[in-house]
Structure 1
């Protein structure tokens, strides 16, 4: 027990030895970014652009030579010649801010006890001043969908911006959807270091029956005026009235087919497949039901030995060319720290079939549409939040993704974090003569 207290104390002390990241102040001065290559996030590009914003909202998106700077007076003008401007990248299905140190249980709030937890709200556990969260803007990731884990129905997610004092300040959209981990067809033996064989899940049909019963009981409860309030069943209301999305975590073809049929049987209005490894085999079903896909981490190996080694890289193209709305998610091993590589996953999709601007949409406008926040962010358009950044080069390429300035709702971000400070510290050490 003594060792645990020492570990916690060490963690606490180390967390305050480096100056805390301070969120930016509300935009007070209007800003105009001139002459950058503007990637609007909707497939369009303006080579020499003028992007202006006031009071946190974008007011001008046009060619630089078409704006009269004397008439359209801005307090601050940034000459971004030779640079690129992008809308803030969005990381869906993320546990950012829910776990700080995996080895310290007290800092882990990503899951709750129980199988059916639609009433669990991940947002109240979100730690806005997480050391991991503060590193995201340096790669352009400015928004995230904070999502619970484990259980059959894990709980509700919420969407946040990544520069805030607390979860209330961070909120973009609260309780946007409920996440369900659909039963798996196969179970793999062994470990991730020494994978074993795939075994059929003999409980698959029984597990689906339990989900069906839960949905049926929820609908029956909501159809009447219950004498006693049931928080769990009551939390399902949004799925049936269309105010929330059902995010179904499923990868196998049969999983996806069964999940879509189950949601249709109970009248779920909006469905998104998360993971979707074999979604390309269910194109007709997805098209018919207007279902979008948040693809699992594309920087991965194929699931099966007889598959194309480049299949994960090509999946976005396979779905996009058939008209499926596709975004990218990053769950998996070391997912929180790895979120910083989200733009490079989009870059890989561009290298394997997608146009560069289509690849950009995977982490901007497409994801914003899937999450239901496209009226507010996801593209550089008049009236939307001024959540954007300036990169020295191509933001989808790790060699040239160098963020010089970033803004969330017009607020100038301080891009310094504990990683940049440590880099500067040890760079100075090795530069000493």
Structure 2
């Protein structure tokens, strides 16, 4: 009798927990699929009306206008709809934080100041309800980045429909993240100091600490590597060019100093993350070929002397200066990542041509993250990570997804939010 009770309890727990489980990842593509009649937004600035997009074995095989032989294929009639490449959320905490107020569900910060060996990927939770809620808006890939410390750790890029972090990864350990020291600090009012900004007296020392770490790691890597030093070993990718250095910095002086720092230390691939005052150093960014992942535009100006609409028009200023620019979501609340397409839409409303704004979250971001060989655009040979929308995907009123695919697998667009919506729609339908 006791064993029967335990068995019944186990089944009850299993059934109750299944209602909270992640949507089962889509099955591998087994048959060629053709999406016909849609307006195809390629992601590189081009549009193809009345398109025929074919993908097989998870890869796009052709994108053309007009008619095509689709015999033997599964045909999706998308006349009057729009097809887009999957959007890419750069510098996100997706899968690392579930509930901000619950410390046990927050894995984005680790203890320590110089911890490049800490890998965000192994903490990525594929069953996160937050991750699940990204897909209905077309966000299908993300760079999962660590936070905190001076050198926060190593990020990776994932697709948002997987059984575990190994399945999710599409580029492992793509870059190391450095939080650049601020050249200004605010007065500590609780100690009677003026509350305004003042020069950071520790700025030079803080940069020297990073420089010393770089120098020591290079010496270690050139030596006999004994005793084993994991933080130093994790820096190897920056020096051989296989990884990028993502420097999180907003102020003009910090951006310039970070660029010269990377150059002086022979770090080949540098990305500025944030860049609120990047418009002041466009010539330097262009000259050194440094891309920028800007903050989300739905924010206040960084300083009192900035134009009130600077966050909205920064993308256009950098774009017009010939700088590769994308949007990152690191400063937004985790759940706000779902609004990524609408951030791009805001940039379009403030001067960038709509298809150029689309590049901020597709091809430009793919290029900055180093995944443009297989993601970011609807082109033959690239992953079939894409979606069909009833309207303009950068407009929250019309971005209504009907189908989405990741590497050719049709994925579920259900989420905890859609389940609640249906539940309460039924509750009040007859009242």
> TM-score, normalized by length of structure 2?
0.93
For the pair 1:138 / 2:136, whether they are aligned, the reply is yes
Displacement after TM superposition at 1:302 (Å): 0.8
2:8 aligned partner: none
The separation in 2 between residues aligned to 1:188 and 1:51, in whole angstroms, is: 54
Counterpart-to-counterpart distance in 1, 2:21 and 2:207 = 50
Q: May I ask how many residue pairs the two structures share in their alignment? A: 414
88 and 333 in structure 1: CA distance in 2 versus 1, 3 angstrom threshold:
closer
Aligned to 1:258: 257
CA contact (8 A) 1:190 1:197 kept: no
Alignment of 1:80-159 (within 5 A): 80-159=78-157
Deviations 1:229-287 (A, max 9, x none): 21111111111110000000000000001111111111101000000111111112111
Would you say 1:62 and 2:60 are equivalent positions?
A: no
- Cα deviation for residue 68 of structure 1 reads 2.5
Specify the alignment match of 2:232 in structure 1: 233
**SS at structure 1 position matched to 2:133:** helix
Q: Which residue matches 1:380?
A: 378
Residues of 2 paired with 1:119 and 1:305: CA distance?
Answer: 38
Write out aligned runs for 1:25-424 (5 A). Answer: 25-65=27-67, 67-70=68-71, 73-74=72-73, 76-188=74-186, 197-334=196-333, 336-424=334-422
Query: What's the CA shift string for 1:67-105, capped at 9, x where partnerless?
Result: 1334xx31x101101100000000000010001112221
Q: For 1:31-50, what per-residue CA distance to the aligned partner results, in whole angstroms no more than 9, with x for missing partners?
A: 10000000000110001100
SS of the equivalent of 2:216 reads: helix
Distance between the aligned counterparts of 2:214 and 2:51, measured in 1? 51
SS at structure 2 position matched to 1:36: strand
Distance 2:16 2:199 in 1: 46
Shift of 1:16: 5.0
Cα deviation, residue 228, structure 1: 2.3
SS in 2 for 1:144: strand
Kept after mapping to 2: 8 A contact 1:179/1:246: yes
Alignment partner of 1:132: what SS?
A: helix
Mapped to 1, the partners of 2:88 and 2:353 lie a distance apart of 19
For the residue of structure 2 that corresponds to 1:113, the secondary structure is: coil
Structure 1 position 189, deviation (Å): 5.7
SS of residue matched to 2:196: strand
Q: Is the 8 A contact 2:345 2:357 kept in 1?
A: yes
Aligned partners of 1:13 and 1:325: how far apart in 2?
49
Report how far residue 333 of structure 1 moved. 4.2
SS at match of 2:129: coil
Relative distance call for 1:316 and 1:190 in structure 2 (3 A) is farther
Aligned equivalents of 1:126, 1:424: Cα separation in 2? 29
1:374: Cα distance to partner? 0.4
Shift in alpha-carbon separation, 1:416–1:196, aligned structure 2, 3 A: farther
C-alpha distance in structure 1 between counterparts of 2:163 and 2:355, whole Å: 33
1:6 corresponds to: none
Alpha-carbon displacement from aligned partner over 1:194-216 (angstroms, at most 9, x marks no partner): x9532432211110111111111
- Does structure 1 retain, via aligned residues, the 8 Å contact 2:37–2:79? yes
1:15 CA drift (Å): 6.6
Using structure 1 for the length normalisation, give the TM-score: 0.93
The offset of 1:14, in angstroms, is 8.8
